[in-house]
Amino acid sequence: MAMTDVVERPGIPRAPAITRGKLLQVLGVSFGIAVLIGNTIVVGILRTPGDVAARLPSPVLFIGVWVVGGLYALLGAMSMAEPGAMLARSGGQYPFVRRGLGEYPGFVVGWSDWLSTCAPIALGAMVFTEYLEPLVPALAGRRVPAGVALVLCFGLLLWRGIRVGDLSQQILSALKALAFGGLIGVCLVVPVPAGTAAAPTAAASGFALVTAIVLAVQAVIFTYDGWTGPLYFGEETRNPGRGIPRSMVFGVLLVIVIYVLVNLAFVRVLGMSRMAGDPFVAASAVKELFGARGDLVIRLLVLLSILGGMNACVLMAPRIMLAMSRDRLLPAAFQTVNPGGTPTVAHWTGIGVAAGFIISGTFNTVLALCAFFFVANYTLSFLSVFALRRKEPDTPRPWRVPGFPYTTGLAVLVSVAFLAGSVVGDWGNSWKSLLLLALSYPMYRVVVARR
């Protein structure tokens, strides 16, 4: 059903009606889990284990940091599910950060989240064409137009409506989960060729060990990023008070199981010494078991993982712009929603920006700059849980954070420590991100003044 705004003034003919549709409340828990898996499990889990193993060559410590990273994601999911279920608004973290901490923090979270959602669409398209090229030699030298074409294909598919997006996300995420399940099963069951798994080397000790653990946990937390997916579809979820918490908690638990089992499988096949520093542990493990045929297996796994991630990001990005437009932080045109439940202007804006990132080759730069905001946004989101408890104690909360305030407080502490570590560890990009943060305030004032 459409909502119509009509502007009338005395003595002036009635202005044409501006018709804007509404988002459709048609999504279930299965979609929430699917979008979380699609947005989280991409290529990182296939590459990051080599970096972590290089820092922590002990199997116990190595698996331990994957469990710790998963627990942080679980704390985060349980915490953000409270305001997500309470407000039941589409738009990711932006709506409840704005309501809890104010309009300017919401503005920062909104625009940085939107950019860091569009950039992975572009990156996914380019990595997809890179891995597809050996299977389709005609793509040689045509990665940029092929990447843009893939982004446009997703744009056309998901422009039709959220029901199509729901179906495509569930299919892609189910195939991805099955593919990872097959990889785990093969690596844990198939006999390992004799003499291939080297003995683990000694781990560092003292302060060097603490530093190694901190850096390893940072890499793991980045690999778990994406568990906020269901928050982007709050008002489109049937019974959001139950659906959002269930999607986030069950989805994160499933990701933890997959990640831990995948890494156990890699350790079994390769051993810690061979994993350490390997830029693509998954490829090495599969080739160890299947030889040359392993290359095809791993390429298909990467391609499938990327498609699920792109589908999720293309669905998520326009909902951020829609939410900001409703609060008059963006032009009203971004509120336009077609009968299928797609925010059309916001949708095609995101597609255009992603295509622009591909053509200009700037997606890696944008992702590097947004790494700072990724952690900062988490910190602001956790703080907003405290703020909303204080400001709106009587607002009905279908889901309350278990163990609050200790669980959410621990998530805040880890996020602040992680943010400090990111600034120190990647100062080359962090100072640029801090400059963007400083520039965001005059931008915000301009927006407010024009409003």
What are the structural domains, with CATH classification, of the chain?
A: 22-393+404-450 (1.20.1740.10)
Residue 197's identity, in one-letter code, is A
237 phi, psi to nearest 5 deg: -95, 130
Sign of the CA dihedral 370, 375, 376, 378?
A: positive
Ordered per-residue pLDDT tens for the chain, 451 residues: 333 333 333 444 443 334 478 999 999 999 999 999 999 998 889 889 999 999 998 999 999 999 999 999 999 999 999 999 999 999 999 999 999 999 999 999 999 999 999 999 999 999 999 999 999 999 888 999 999 999 999 999 999 999 999 999 999 999 999 999 999 999 998 888 765 445 555 566 677 888 888 889 888 999 999 999 999 999 999 999 999 999 999 999 999 999 999 999 999 999 998 999 898 899 999 988 888 888 888 999 999 999 999 999 999 999 999 999 999 999 999 999 999 999 999 999 999 999 999 999 998 889 888 888 988 999 999 999 999 999 999 999 999 999 999 999 999 999 999 888 878 877 888 898 899 899 999 999 999 998 7
pTM, two decimals, is 0.90
Closest CA to 345 of 18, 27, 50, 9: 18
* Structure-block tokens of residue 309: 């991630």
Distance of CA 47 to the CA centre of its chain: 17
Task: Measure the CA–CA gap between 235 and 243, rounded to whole angstroms.
Answer: 11
Radius of gyration from C-alpha coordinates of the chain: 22
Closest CA to 230 of 23, 40, 444: 40
